[in-house]
């Protein structure tokens, strides 16, 4: 098979035990950080030429996350990787119990296009921190970002340790035929299914960071101005091409009009326009046409300007939408924000629960019992109260989906655990031990066992 040789080389390197050494891992993480700093300008140029993403946006939503993950791993690695003591149960005494933390082996990371650095390099960093070797397959869609990552990694690290394979469906399909010790995939739910099936053939563990429609619920007692500001920022960041962007709003009827005005005002304040760098392009013509077709002029509240040549779609709000409208069928993944009003929170909760579990959910309310009711009744990957998207930036919180929005999580220690195996060990001393468990069995021994185990 096409990639067997590089995988074999990585497996041999992994089996040499070099990556198990914490000093080796920390050196590689430090090297990665200084290379990134050295080449940061090339990274900014590449992403700007792919979809006009500015240095501000790229630093705050991509590079920062990579540096943060490196810094956290360097600081916390000795604690995370340490042997852990466990209690020993009565049946095994005298003995001691502990857990050895070990890397999994050769890992495949498959990235996606919307945050090409963040979603390729954060899992790669985490896999290095946990002591693995890594093959990275970035998304081919922002081709300049794929090339710049391949160059940085392939020119500066031994290929038996880290290697980037650029390509699209044929290359990924070939790669997925191979046996890995872990596959970490970010992307759509449809491709997640393909990855999961391929992994099943080798019983390879997978983490799937997938997609879904993430609602934001806004109740009448919210702070309307602050809510509008936070929602508009979260939705139109990256022109809505964010897996955890609020996909649609569920607004209590009593404040619908006031909120719509505040949302529109906020769009004007933020000054999104093709001519400035507050706003990115739609990634490609295919997504541009898909999104343009979703703008139902009958529901247009504001925005709706499009330009196929520059792949620009202005921030657009659609009002009086209901759950049966076409825009409510699939994840929008673009700068269109449908608003649905409600009077009964229980109806809304049921509507959400009849659909696939969202990747994120946001609640804007001052009503704590309502907040707790939603948190108690609705299953979703993660989210925020009175904010949106920002939960991803706290690497003390595990990030991941549930159900169709994904399986497994990462960021900080959650990521380290995801790329590690926890090996459980029971250690017995020689010498004294009660003889009850050994044959020949007698009534007297059974009596002792029952007395000791007390069940």
List residues bridging with 242 in a β-sheet: none
Active site residue 107: no
Find the catalytic residue in 243, 256, 331, 404.
Answer: 243
**Interface pattern 303-332 for ligand NAD (x via CB under 6 A):** ----------------------------x-
Range in contact with ligand NAD (rule: CB under 6 A) among 133-141, 148-156, 320-328, 336-344: 133-141
Residue 129 makes contact with ligand NAD by CB under 6 A: no
Residues 114, 200: Cα–Cα separation, whole Å: 27
116-129 and 143-156 helices, crossing angle to 10° = 30
> Per the structure block, which two tokens stand in for 345?
């929170």
Catalytic residue of the set 62, 69, 160, 209: 209
Find tokens 């001052």 and name the residue.
Answer: 366
Residue from the set 145, 172, 314, 418 that interacts with ligand NAD by CB under 6 A: 172
Looking up tokens 């998304």 gives: 139
Task: Tell me, residue by residue from 396 to 425, as one string, x for binding to ligand NAD by CB under 6 A and - for no binding.
Answer: -----x----x-------------------
Give the separation between CA 393 and CA 397, rounded to whole angstroms: 9
Query: Tokens 């020949």, residue?
Result: 440
Among 28, 132, 211, 319, contact with ligand NAD (rule: CB under 6 A): 211
Smallest separation (angstroms) from ligand NAD to the CB of 4:
18
Give me the sign of the Cα torsion angle 14, 146, 237, 294. negative
Asked if 165 and 175 touch (Cβ cutoff 8 Å), the reply is: yes
Q: How does DSSP assign 263-288, residue by residue?
A: HHHHHHHHT--TTSTTSPPPS-HHHH
Q: Is residue 289 involved in binding ligand NAD (CB under 6 A)?
A: no
Stretch that binds ligand NAD, among 186-194, 224-232, 300-308, 364-372 (CB under 6 A): 186-194
27 binds ligand NAD (CB under 6 A): no
Q: Is 113 exposed, middle or buried (0-12, 13-18, 19+ CB in 10 A)?
A: buried
Interface with ligand NAD, residue 393, by CB under 6 A: no
Residue 169 binding ligand NAD, by CB under 6 A? yes
44-52, 185-193, 313-321, 447-455 -> range binding ligand NAD (CB under 6 A): 185-193
**293 makes contact with ligand NAD (CB under 6 A):** no
Kindly indicate which of the ranges 25-33, 164-172, 348-356, 436-444 contains the residues binding ligand NAD, using the contact rule CB under 6 A: 164-172
The count of C-alpha atoms lying within 13 angstroms of the C-alpha of 349, restricted to the half-sphere facing its C-beta, is: 14
* Torsion angle defined by CA atoms of residues 9, 10, 11 and 14, in that order, rounded to the nearest 10 degrees: 130
Of the residues 19, 28, 58, 112, which one makes contact with ligand NAD according to CB under 6 A: 112
Active site residue 243: yes
User: Where does 65-154 show beta strands of DSSP type E?
Assistant: 84-86, 96-103, 106-110, 133-137
Give me the sign of the Cα torsion angle 36, 42, 43, 44: positive
- What 433-439 contacts at long range (C-beta under 8 Å, 24+ apart), as own/partner pairs, is 433/94
Given 26, 29, 199, 210, the residue binding ligand NAD (CB under 6 A): 210
Region from 84-92, 166-174, 372-380, 441-449 binding ligand NAD, contact rule CB under 6 A: 166-174
Q: Which residues form the catalytic set?
A: 209, 243
Task: State the residues that interact with ligand NAD by CB under 6 A.
Answer: 110-114, 119, 137, 139-141, 168-169, 172-173, 186-188, 191, 194, 209-211, 243, 331, 333, 359, 401, 406
């Amino acid at each position: 098979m096409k990639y067997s040789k590089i995988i074999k080389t990585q497996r041999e390197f992994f089996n040499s035990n070099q990556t198990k050494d914490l000093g080796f891992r920390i050196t590689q993480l430090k090297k990665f950080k200084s290379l990134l700093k050295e080449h940061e300008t090339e990274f900014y140029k590449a992403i700007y030429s792919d979809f006009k993403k500015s240095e501000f946006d790229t630093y705050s939503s991509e590079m920062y996350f990579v540096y943060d993950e490196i810094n956290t791993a360097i600081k916390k690695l000795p604690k995370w990787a340490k042997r852990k003591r466990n209690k020993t149960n009565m049946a095994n005494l005298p003995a001691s119990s502990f857990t050895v933390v070990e890397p999994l082996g050769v890992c495949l990371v498959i990235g996606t296009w919307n945050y090409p650095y963040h979603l390729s390099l954060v899992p790669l960093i985490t896999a290095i921190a946990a002591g693995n070797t890594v093959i990275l397959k970035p998304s081919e869609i922002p081709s300049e970002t794929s090339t710049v990552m391949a160059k940085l990694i392939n020119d500066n690290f031994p290929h038996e340790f880290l290697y980037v394979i650029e390509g699209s469906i044929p290359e990924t399909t070939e790669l997925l035929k191979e046996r890995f010790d872990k596959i970490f995939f970010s992307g759509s739910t449809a491709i997640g299914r393909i990855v999961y099936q391929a992994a099943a053939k080798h019983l390879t563990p997978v983490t799937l960071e997938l997609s879904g429609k993430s609602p934001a619920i806004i109740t009448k007692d919210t702070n309307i101005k602050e809510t509008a500001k936070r929602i508009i920022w979260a939705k139109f960041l990256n022109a809505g091409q964010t897996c955890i962007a609020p996909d649609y709003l569920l607004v209590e009827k009593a404040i619908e009009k006031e909120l719509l005005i505040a949302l529109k005002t906020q769009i004007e304040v933020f000054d999104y326009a093709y001519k400035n760098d507050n706003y990115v392009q739609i990634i490609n013509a295919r997504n541009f046409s898909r999104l343009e077709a979703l703008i139902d002029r009958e529901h247009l509240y504001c925005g709706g300007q499009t330009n196929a040549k520059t792949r620009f779609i202005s921030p657009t709000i659609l009002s009086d939408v209901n759950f049966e409208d076409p825009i409510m069928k699939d994840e929008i993944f673009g700068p269109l924000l449908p608003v649905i009003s409600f009077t009964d929170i229980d109806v809304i909760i049921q509507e959400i629960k009849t659909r696939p579990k969202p990747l994120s959910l946001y609640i804007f309310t001052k009503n704590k019992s309502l907040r707790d009711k939603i948190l108690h009744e609705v299953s979703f990957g993660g989210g925020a109260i009175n904010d949106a998207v920002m939960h991803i930036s706290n690497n003390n919180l595990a990030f991941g989906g549930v159900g169709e929005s994904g399986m497994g999580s990462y960021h900080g220690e959650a990521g380290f655990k995801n790329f590690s195996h926890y090996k459980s060990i029971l250690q017995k001393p020689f010498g004294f031990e009660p003889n009850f468990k050994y044959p020949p069995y007698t009534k007297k021994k059974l009596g002792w066992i029952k007395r000791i185990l007390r069940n």
